[in-house]
Chains A and B, each alone.
Chain A
Amino acid sequence: MGAVVGTLTMQTKQRRPSREIMHLSFSFPSPADKTDDELEMTMVCHRPEGLDQLEAQTNFSKQELQILYRGFKNECPSGVVNEETFKHIYAQFFPHGDASMYAHYLFNAFDTTNNGSIKFKDFVMGLSILLRGTLREKLEWTFHLYDINRDGYINREEMTEIVRAIYDMMGKYTYPALKGDVPQQHVDAFFQKMDKNKDGVVTLEEFVIACQEDETMMRSMQLFENVM
């Protein structure tokens, strides 16, 4: 039929210091035929930058990065997490309800390059901000999480989506039973607190200031004390 063509491309460190991509593809050269797509095996393997560089860019120590990478690599041997896997992992922590929507927003927040997959570097940078970042950085990250369409403002619809996603994680069996308008009330309360100039959207500055004024929230920041 056709010869098996194997290509191996590797970009050395001198030329491009950012990343190594190993791209192995064996394909039968008949691109028009749909059935041959099944035979094509492409193995994409992403390797992160060196440990030293990651240590410099994040607030983690080498050992912590090692531990994180081992877990990451175990679950995703190919070096990237796609959204499906991400949702699956996150759902394991919330077996009662449906964590897929919140996981989706989280995925988008971690995927800073917006290419549909999270590499180890993205993962670790996100974690670094959340666990070891300054207060301002954490609040900014949260703002970006809420700002689904990345327009710099949080409007009611976005907030309703987020709140609904969070309530979905509770599942059906809650006490007291979840009524339909509870998420909406929660959103209203949020806007009342955050939206200072009552223009219907929350900007980054409003968000940061309101959060810093919120005693409850500041006390809750202890949540991240000893996560790693």
Chain B
Amino acid sequence: MAAGVATWLPFARAAAVGWLPLAKKTMPKPPVDNTSRSDEILYVNVSGVRFQTWKNTLDRYPDTLLGSSEKEFFYNEDTQEYFFDRDPEMFRHILNFYRTGKLHYPRHECIQAFDEELAFYGIVPEIIGDCCMEEYRDRKKENQERLAEDTEANEASDAPLPPHSTSRERLWRAFENPHTSTMALVFYYVTGFFIAVSVIANVVETVPCRPPKGSVKDLPCGEKYQLAFFCMDTACVLIFTFEYLMRLFAAPSRCKFMRSVMSVIDVVAIMPYYIGLVMPENEDVSGAFVTLRVFRVFRIFKFSRHSQGLRILGYTLKSCASELGFLLFSLTMAIIIFATVMFYAEKGTKGSTFTSIPASFWYTIVTMTTLGLVKLDSVLQKHWSQVYHQNFIRLKVRLARIRMAKKGTTNAFLQYKEDRDRDSDSTALCVKNRSAFEHQHHHLLHCLEKTTNHEFTDEMNYSELCMTESVGFRTSRSTSLSSQQGAQNNSTGCCPRRARRRAAMRLANSTVSVSRGSVQELDTLHIKTTSIPPQTRSSLNAQADDLKLNCGEQDFTAAIISIPTPPANTPDESLPPSPAPIPGILRNTRATAYTHDTVKISSL
């Protein structure tokens, strides 16, 4: 929930007076609030920088470190303040989050340092405000890519070989890290030299040499010294073939090696030679054979094993592949448009070179590239990506956030009902876990239920119950607190009550045994029949947003989250925020746990 909302809770509760005359039943007793009424100022010392804030400010987000009782671990009795040995600069942003409800990402900070601070204070990065979210995401993506490259590089590091490695492993290491042994280095340079030789030979053999005696016409050197060039070519190809076969032998995973880019380049570089050997000296076929010789120029790409820079260029191209693709597409569109225009414009004229539309392509391409329209395209690119971010990514992020928050509230409330209905002894512990704010909020929702004589459920239960009503089954209501831990119990909380709470929550979401197929059918039906246009942002209507969810699995996983969940490595909450599908996990649990007295269909 937003920052100030906690402070409006008294107002919301007061407004419940409007329900009182309508309620048939007495309202439940309000939760006892033992905390002192008056607000106090807390002192937070972060590495010497003293911050002061109202206690209420920190209480706004009870799921974070500062908002929960976890901060008591950092309380210093002597100085009467909370001491954190963390970065005070970053803490400023964290504290501002509590004050304003918006988390901003400081652009000059390292993204990893920021993430670590957020993880420490139990704040989910997803709630970064729209103003800073794109920047954050871009930096995060960059960082992850860099890390991925680093780990790849580290894998091929110069660490000493493990003992007892086979000759095959040694050979592979020699190929991957030429610096490890002298032999490898020699081989590395030799291959590099031969690549260079091969490329130069390709170039030189087309240069016109002085004609042999007795002839007038200029000949390309390739034909004059045919034997010499042939020998050179053979030598190069032999070396390359040898190298390729050795690599293939040494590779730990041959299939993976054969599919890798470098191996493909190797093959493409040497194949034309062999094909040329096999091919007969036929005039008809030699035309095609000449084309094959073009592939010999790909030998130059073999240099990328020898040059870090080339590899980086390759990665860069790969990472902006989508943008490049779009660029090409838009260029193609422009070319076609202009070529067509030129063709039809010049159609009537005699002697026009625009004999057909493809013929005009060449003219268009040359003109466009000369005039630097490519530069214009790159400007379009930049704005395109901005617009894309604005319209799609931000919208997705916002919807995801709303969905998450809503699911969190729903299921926190259902959990509250579970606890309430169980024995008061066992709930004592669980109940303390939640903040006063949550208690009061849930009490408010409970009052609303009493007023309308209906209960809140979540989407899954609702569809199941509709289904059972329509089919006419009786739902057997039995309490069963069998601790059915789901398959994906991500972190076994150190606290057993937390595990129980989770189990209870899963039970709360589980339903009567109904055949899976029919429930799914109902779900899809259910989603298809309602098509309400999305409400304004001010009314978080369950209908509009839930329509976008896949029926079934995702709801369950999201059910375990409460707002806002910090990432998995903090001790407070224990589950990751992003819903990952757990297929069938909760459908397997079949016991319901509603125990309260009467839930009759209202016959007012």
Report the minimal beta-carbon distance from B584 to chain A, rounded to whole angstroms: 22
Q: Complex formed: what's the CA distance from A43 to B13 in Å?
A: 32
Taking A92-B2, A93-B445, A186-B604 as known contacts, 5 extra A-B pairs with beta carbons closer than 8 A to each other, sorted by chain A number, are: A90-B12, A142-B20, A174-B454, A211-B20, A223-B20
Known: A92-B2, A169-B448, A223-B16. Contact between A178 and B540, CB under 8 A?
no
CB-CB nearest in chain A for B18: A145
Across the interface, name the chain A residue whose C-beta is closest to B54: A70
Size range of the interface on B?
35 or more
Q: List 18 A-B contacts (CB under 8 A).
A: A64-B37, A67-B38, A70-B56, A74-B4, A75-B7, A89-B5, A91-B539, A93-B9, A94-B448, A96-B410, A123-B11, A171-B456, A182-B452, A223-B13, A223-B447, A225-B30, A226-B32, A227-B14
Taking a contact as CB atoms under 8 Å apart, the answer to whether A175 and B461 are in contact is: yes
B8 near A: Cβ within 8 Å?
A: yes
Assess whether A224 is in contact with B14, with CB atoms less than 8 Å apart: yes
Across the A-B interface, how many residue pairs have beta carbons closer than 8 Å? Answer: 216
A220 and B20 in contact, given A63-B38, A64-B37, A74-B7 (Cβ under 8 angstroms): yes
In the complex, A214 Cα to B448 Cα: how many Å? 18
Identify the 9 closest CB pairs spanning chains A and B, nearest first: A71-B7, A75-B4, A130-B14, A88-B538, A173-B462, A220-B27, A174-B454, A185-B604, A74-B4
Q: B459 on the interface (CB 8 Å rule)?
A: yes
Return chain B residues, CB-CB under 8 Å to A177.
462, 465-466, 469
- How far is it, in angstroms, between the C-alpha of A176 and the C-alpha of B410 when the chains are bound? 17
Selected contact of B17 from candidates A141, A188, A190, A216, CB within 8 Å: A141
Q: Mark A58-73, 1 if CB is under 8 A from B, else 0.
A: 0000011011101110
Contact yes or no, A175 B457, CB < 8 A? yes
Chain B residues in 8 Å Cβ range of A201: none
With a 10 A CB-CB cut-off, give which of A146, A186, A189, A214 has the most chain B CB atoms.
A186
> Which B residues from 529 to 552 make CB contacts under 8 A with A?
535-543
In the assembled complex, the CB of A12 is this many whole angstroms from the nearest CB of chain B, namely 31
Contact A98 B406 (CB under 8 A): no
Partner of B20, one of A87, A171, A217: A217
Asked whether, in the complex, the Cβ of A220 is within 8 Å of the Cβ of B2, the reply is no
| Cβ contact of A74, chosen from B3, B462, B535, cutoff 8 A | B3
Interface residues of B in 153-203 (CB under 8 A from A): none
A71 to B1, CA, bound (A): 14
- Let me know if A47 is at the binding interface, CB within 8 A: no
Query: What sequence of 0s and 1s flags, for each residue 76-105 of chain A, a beta carbon within 8 Å of any chain B beta carbon?
Result: 000000001001111111111111101001
B100 contacts across to A, CB distance below 8 A:
74
Contact B462 A95 (CB under 8 A): no
User: Does A204 touch B at the CB level, under 8 Å?
Assistant: no
Which chain A residues border B21 with CB–CB below 8 Å? 142, 146, 190, 194, 207, 211, 214, 217
Query: A170 contacts the other chain (Cβ, under 8 Å)?
Result: yes
* Assembly CA distance A187 to B600 (angstroms): 19
Residues of chain A from 157 to 202 with CB closer than 8 A to chain B in the complex: 162-163, 166-167, 169-178, 182, 185-186, 188-190, 194
- Give per-residue flags for B381-422: 1 if the beta carbon is below 8 A from chain A beta carbons, else 0: 000000000000000000000000110011000000000000
Q: Answer yes or no: A228 CB below 8 A from chain B CBs.
A: yes
Q: How far is the CB of A201 from chain B (nearest CB, A)?
A: 15
B536 CB contacts on chain A under 8 angstroms: 100
Residues of B within 8 A of A166 (CB): 18-19, 22, 448, 451-452
Do A93 and B17 form a contact, CB below 8 Å, given A166-B452, A176-B601, A216-B25?
Answer: no
Which residues of the other chain, A, contact B441 by a CB distance below 8 angstroms?
93
Kindly state the separation between the CA atoms of A51 and B551 in the bound complex, as whole angstroms.
53
CA A95 to CA B16, docked complex, whole Å: 16
CB interface residues, A 89-139, toward B, < 8 Å:
89-100, 102, 105-106, 123, 126-127, 130-131, 138
